[in-house]
Amino acid sequence: HDVHGRLDLNAALPTLAGMTGTDPVSVARALDNQIPLKTGSTTNISVVDAEGNACVVTTTLGLGSGVWIRGRGIHLNSMLGETELLAPGPLPRDQLSLSQPGNRMASMMCPLVVTNGDGLVLAAGSAGASRIRTALTHTLVGVLADGLSVAEAIARPRFHPANGILHVEPGLPESTLDALAEAGFTLRHWDAPDLYFGGASAVGASGAAGDPRRGGKGVLV
């Protein structure tokens, strides 16, 4: 499979490319670096038409500017004030620096499509700031490696490393938890699935699905 997406501050595509396997320990190790942590105001929509044309759009307000366009109801974002765009991250600053004229605006967002020789396999994106990479990695591993439906892959329990702690949603098999602990991760168990772990939406051969962590839906029309 070929995964196509934008270069982002989460390094989502380099993370996927650098994975040595799709078992939980390999996924956790690939995700385990210091990404700035932030709550966000991000949303994503993934759309595929009957001919296989795909569009994935992720939008965000960042912190929000407090400024509205009069008569339009549109709230302007404040992305130039985003700490993730200014702080050190996993990607070289010369690729993402806001200080260089002509550079594309950097972002945590990474809408993507997956293709193979037959065409489109998956269109996916996520909200969740620094957990966007985590949500997309888990979703792609579920669909492409584990053979799950889109809905199953999005709903499946996730884990996310941050500041030396591996945050874990309930429902992961005991064998997986044991393997992660034996690999040296310190686990923090959450009581319920949570939007902290990202909010993905995707469309694939098995259908469309939104993330139940944020009331997401998949609709066929």
Domain ranges of the chain: 2-210
Q: What is the pLDDT of residue 39?
A: 52
Helix axis angle for 24-31 and 174-182, nearest 10°, is 50
Distance between CA 6 and CA 113 in Å, rounded?
10
Distance between CA 138 and CA 136 in Å, rounded?
5
- Please give the positions annotated as active site: 42
Residue 219 has which token pair? 């609709």
Distance between CA 172 and CA 219 in Å, rounded?
28
Which residue in this structure is represented by tokens 């044309």? Answer: 53
Q: What is the pLDDT of residue 49?
A: 93
Q: What is the pLDDT of residue 21?
A: 87
CATH class assigned to 2-210? alpha beta
Distance between CA 220 and CA 150 in Å, rounded?
13
Q: What is the pLDDT of residue 209?
A: 95
Residue 136 has which token pair? 């997309």
The pLDDT profile of the chain, 221 residues, written as one tens digit per residue, is 888 887 676 778 788 888 888 888 898 888 886 555 555 568 899 999 999 999 999 888 777 678 889 999 888 877 666 665 665 555 555 555 555 677 666 777 889 999 999 999 999 999 988 889 899 999 999 999 999 999 999 999 999 998 889 999 999 999 999 999 999 999 999 999 999 999 999 999 999 999 999 889 998 88
Distance between CA 134 and CA 131 in Å, rounded?
5
